[in-house]
Structure 1
Amino acid sequence: MSALSPKTPGWLDWYPEPSEPALALPPGSVDAHCHVFGPQATFPFAPERKYTPCDGGKDELFALRDHLGFARNVIVQATCHGADNSAMLDAVSASGGRARGVATVRPDTGEDELRALDAAGVRGVRFNFVKRLVDAAPTEQLRTIAEKVAPLGWHIVLYFEAADLPELEHFFGALPTPLVVDHMGRPDVTRPSDGPEFSRFLRFVEHHDVWVKVTCPERLSVTGPSALDGQRHSYTDVVPFGRRVVEEFPDRVLWGTDWPHPNLTGHMPDDGLLVDGIAQVARTEEERHKLLVDNPMRLYWPDEAV
């Protein structure tokens, strides 16, 4: 067996002892955006990867799920594994039906393989347009993938930076599947949530079959987590953006931890604090139930959705 690759210098490992959330999640809540890393000894990382993470496998993910009070997970293929979905599929298989997957597939992936992925619990594919994570995102090849997965009823998860939306919007709008946008399209939270850039993103959501993950305040925040009057507050500069999405599109929003939080450089978030932050963007029980239960169940477990 070849030697294991060392972590990328400066890599931040996931938070080992997350706090217990003060927010009680509604029964059946879904962590709709998380990943698994390896473990590398069992599931080697892709040679073309842009980073080498710590291990963060299914056992740790499921322990976090139970600690935070979630019932289910949606496990999104991590870029460090490339198009080898083995680690993600292994975790979905081990979940006993409590997880679904979002895969990475290549344009030459055949119908039989796609149907096998569907039977294994995959419900979508991810297109990554973040330039520091991928060399290129050839739109014609991605269009080919979209046309192949559309008959399965899958959706496409989009990861892009807010500044790139104007040049990508036409391509996104022409895709033949529902779309799910990671991390609110990564807005610049130093600009107003009712300003033209974020408003343009929300109009894109309004005019297409688009769902939005109200996720990763730790990636978007400039101020970071804070404490005020003895209470914990989660990334308050991101709250107006998440709140606006939840209020305008209550039936098309999702939430997830993003565990094990790849490629963070400033700090590693306490996942219990992230859960408590849900109450700041989804302020009513009805909003939280839609965000955490109704919407992800409709998208990933439609046969079980109430």
Structure 2
Amino acid sequence: MTSVPTIPPPHLDPRVPSFKLPPGSCDTHCHIFGPARIYPYVPERPYTPPDAPLEMFRALHDRLGVERAVIVNATPHGRDNRVVTDAIAQSGGRYKGIANVDETFDDRQLRDLAEAGIEGCRFTFLPRLGKIPDMSAFDRIVERIADLGWHVDLYLPANLIPEFRPRLMSLPVPYVIDHMGVVDASQGLEQPGFTALLDLLRDDEKCWVKVSCPERISRAGPPFHDVASFGRALVEAAPDRVLWGTDWPHPNVPVMPDDGDLVDLVPLYAPDPGIRQKLLIDNPTRLFRFEQR
């Protein structure tokens, strides 16, 4: 096996944000890594993360004021989803999850994941995280998860949307595009990839977008205010189908963010309190099927 790069840990002392998240706010995109002695990383992983276990995850959310979370299983854990389902089991209903699955999973295994609090599965279209999915297998898996009420989470760069738009529009399940399509903020709101993302979001009621990971698309750096207009455009395009998340512990980012900065972007994305209620609480409750409070 070739050498696997080790990535940096998250910011170890994030500041308390100036913006106070409302009760019930949900971080819809975050990860737990390890501890590796309990949840080992697969040999074919594209990177090795420092352990960022459940205790660190809880402490981060306590500091930020996050009450609910959706844990996305990341590539280092491969198709072993226990790091997610074990955290859900200890959460008292506050966590849901997104799994990594493939065609080796039988129907019973998929149902077991659903019963454990999994609400969807993820496919990655970034070459640095592995090859583009086999789209025939993708279609077969999507057909199988439809009966579970799941959605598909897509790490899909916006510049690929024109190529994939017909397939996305025909999906039998909702789909979520991660991290604002990882556009380049320096290219402006009129760049083709971002306009394709906005058009898809407006045209297809199955399409959701995560207003997350500004550190990946910013070119100005912290506190990432050059990203605010992109998040606001997405929120305005479909206020009932946008989600917010931190992407903690921020694997493979160009600059490690202070999570307090990420929370303080929320009122820039959604200045209206009623829209923030949708972004942070109502939309994730509906998509991830949290219990109503």
TM-score relative to the length of structure 2: 0.95
Structure 1 residue 41: deviation in Å? 1.0
Q: List gaps (5 residues or longer) in structure 1.
A: 1-5, 226-233
In the alignment, which residue of structure 2 is the partner of 1:229?
none
1:194-273 equivalences under 5 Å are 194-208=190-204, 209-225=206-222, 234-264=223-253, 266-273=254-261
In the alignment, which residue of structure 2 is the partner of 1:274?
262
Q: 2:183 aligns with which of 182, 187, 198?
A: 187
Q: Give the Cα–Cα distance (whole angstroms) in 1 for the partners of residues 82 and 4 of structure 2.
A: 20
Q: Give the Cα–Cα distance (whole angstroms) in 2 for the partners of residues 94 and 186 of structure 1.
A: 32
Is the counterpart of residue 294 in structure 1 residue 282 in structure 2? Answer: yes
Q: Which has the higher helix share?
A: 2
Contact 1:30/1:292, CA 8 A, preserved across alignment: yes
Q: Give the Cα–Cα distance (whole angstroms) in 2 for the partners of residues 158 and 70 of structure 1.
A: 24
Contact 2:19/2:263, CA 8 A, preserved across alignment: yes
Please say which of residues 285-294 and 190-199 is displaced more in the overlay: 190-199
In the alignment, which residue of structure 1 is the partner of 2:23?
27
Q: Give the Cα–Cα distance (whole angstroms) in 1 for the partners of residues 128 and 174 of structure 2.
A: 26
Identity, in percent, stands at: 46
In the alignment, which residue of structure 2 is the partner of 1:228?
none
Structure 1 residue 108: deviation in Å? 2.8
Moved over 4 A (4+): none
Contact 1:36/1:57, CA 8 A, preserved across alignment: yes
- How many pairs are equivalent? 290
- Provide Cα deviations, 1:46-71, integer angstroms capped at 9, x if missing partner: 11110011000111111111111011
Contact 2:88/2:96, CA 8 A, preserved across alignment: yes
Q: Give the Cα–Cα distance (whole angstroms) in 2 for the partners of residues 56 and 170 of structure 1.
A: 38
SS class of match (1:255)? strand
Task: Provide closer, same or farther for how the CA distance between residues 133 and 81 of structure 1 changes in structure 2, counting only shifts above 3 A.
Answer: same
In the alignment, which residue of structure 2 is the partner of 1:50?
46
Q: Give the Cα–Cα distance (whole angstroms) in 2 for the partners of residues 300 and 136 of structure 1.
A: 26
Q: CA RMSD in A?
A: 1.5
Q: Which AA in structure 2 matches 1:74?
A: V
Q: Give the Cα–Cα distance (whole angstroms) in 1 for the partners of residues 88 and 279 of structure 2.
A: 22
Q: Give the Cα–Cα distance (whole angstroms) in 2 for the partners of residues 41 and 217 of structure 1.
A: 32
Q: List gaps (5 residues or longer) in structure 2.
A: none
